[in-house]
Amino acid sequence: MKKVSGEDFPVVFGEERKGEIDRIALSSEKAREALGWTPSFSLEEGIGHTWEWFKEAKQ
Round to whole Å and give the CA distance between 39 and 24: 19
Total-model pTM: 0.64
* pLDDT beneath 70: ranges in the chain: none
Residue 41, CA atoms < 13 Å, CB-side half-sphere = 8
pLDDT digits (tens, 9 = 90+) for 20-30: 988 888 889 99
Whether residue 54 contacts residue 47, with contact meaning beta carbons closer than 8 Å, is answered with no
CB 54 within 8 A of CB 10: no
Q: Domain ranges in the chain?
A: 1-6+25-59
